[in-house]
Amino acid sequence: MTTAATTSHVFGEATLGEFEQGLRGQLIRPEDDAYDEARAIWNGAHDRRPALIARCAGVADVMRAVDFARSENLLVAVRGGGHSLPGFSTCDGGVVVDLSSMTGVRVDPARRTAIAEGGCTWADFDHETQAFGLAVTGGLVSTTGIAGFTLGGGIGWLMRKVGLTCDNLLAADVVTADGQLVHTSVDENPELLWGLRGGGGNFGIATSLEFRLHPIGPMLLAGPIFFAGDRAEEVLGFYRDWVRGLPDELTTLANLTTAPPAPFLPAAAHGKPIVAIVAVYAGDPEHGRALVQPLRNLGDPIADLLDVMPYTAMQSLLDALWTRGAHNYMRSAYIDHLTDEAIAATAARHRAVPSPHSEIHFHHFGGAVTRGAENSAFGDRSAQFVLNVIARSPDAEGFGANVAWARETAQALEPVSRDGAYVNFMGDAGDERLRASYGDATYDRLVALKRRYDPDNLFRLNQNITP
């Protein structure tokens, strides 16, 4: 007897039954009630129908799922937090190896380390580590998965102080394409650790990741100051010059967006263009206050919410704006220098935004980010800013216009953009752009590593290093 899990793949019932019985977790098929919820990822623009979703309960399930996919010649999508913008964590007709139930975290406060399973979100991770006043650079939205985030690099509020998340990755357990579990650390399989620090999900499935932690908070100076959108050129011009002199403890972001109908913004501003400068000071809040005073001196903000708050509150401050299911598309670039012309172009693109959900971000890079280079595969650390242009709409309606706007906005900033980009913010890049993002030497070294751990490219739904 056979089961048509999709039109594209027919399984022997016995084969499937044997696979299912061998799992401690759950096998979800298209005919199951749980299927539609289980196949949905954060980015609603990717409506895919996998043949199977293996919701793994532990390492043994992951090994089994990899063996099964390989022997059945199935496409493999790996899901940690499900936040892939290009939709790499789902597929049509293949198997999703879903780690979202694997959320254990063990903190060692004395050593200042934490070992977290590959399905954790930043909310899971921060919850456990902040109980000891510890943290590592995490995502700006707490529902993002730690695994995909870390393996691609990891930029967040602590990066200028403690480095990218991948710089703090000390070790990992990885199920490789042959279904075996490999441990990697600086002493054991160190080349694999190098590759996991920025090379993405190319080399296998990280079932657990060990991080170095740092004393952070629990209270710190953090939050946004909002200015009227018609001041975009003035505010961005100030921002570009101001950040140059900032210490590593202060990480900031400029966000050109539309005021949401939120109670913390005056009703008169709702629906109007605004510029938010968001800052996090990873140190004594009073030192932070002195440092952000020049920003405050710009005067006449629409709202000033930059104040002392728990680190975990800052980590989830943006969650309500970035709920799952909406359609999203992102363009990203490294920016060398924000010229006056680039600032004017940005302000013009901000005025032309077709939806209140689409926005432009400039993350201020630098600080500790520039110091991790030799031990990781992460690409370009030397740019002053990371640009993100996000096209977003609640559903398919109007999404195309927002995508076109994002493309044109990225194009308008091409004169100040480098060729490559941060891999976690890229769409489906293609070999050339990926090579440019890593640089030739790193890219070639990643290809060699890929040939060693995944010569048949089983793990190819990612920013793919082709073997």
Residue 206, CA atoms < 13 Å, CB-side half-sphere: 36
Cβ at position 81, least distance to ligand FAD in Å = 3
Task: Compare residues 294 and 430 and give the one whose CB is closer to ligand FAD.
Answer: 430
Task: Compare residues 350 and 392 and give the one whose CB is closer to ligand FAD.
Answer: 392
Task: Compare residues 140 and 347 and give the one whose CB is closer to ligand FAD.
Answer: 140
Cβ at position 62, least distance to ligand FAD in Å = 8
Task: Compare residues 87 and 301 and give the one whose CB is closer to ligand FAD.
Answer: 87
Task: Compare residues 138 and 301 and give the one whose CB is closer to ligand FAD.
Answer: 138
Cβ at position 463, least distance to ligand FAD in Å = 8
Cβ at position 156, least distance to ligand FAD in Å = 5
Cβ at position 386, least distance to ligand FAD in Å = 9
Residues sharing a CB contact under 8 Å with residue 106, sequence separation 6 or more, in sequence order: 114, 115, 116, 128
Cβ at position 242, least distance to ligand FAD in Å = 21
Cβ at position 290, least distance to ligand FAD in Å = 26
Task: Compare residues 238 and 437 and give the one whose CB is closer to ligand FAD.
Answer: 437
Cβ at position 341, least distance to ligand FAD in Å = 28
Task: Compare residues 144 and 258 and give the one whose CB is closer to ligand FAD.
Answer: 144
Task: Compare residues 66 and 416 and give the one whose CB is closer to ligand FAD.
Answer: 66
Give the integer Cα–Cα distance in Å for 25 and 410: 43
Q: Give buried/exposed letters for 134-147 (b at 16+ CB in 10 A, else e).
A: bbbbbbbbbbbbbb
Task: Compare residues 238 and 334 and give the one whose CB is closer to ligand FAD.
Answer: 334
Cβ at position 276, least distance to ligand FAD in Å = 15
Binding site for ligand FAD (CB under 6 A): 41-42, 78-85, 88-89, 99, 118, 139-141, 144-145, 147-149, 151-156, 200-201, 205-206, 322, 424, 461-462
Q: Do residues 447 and 465 lie in contact, with contact meaning Cβ atoms separated by under 8 Å?
A: yes
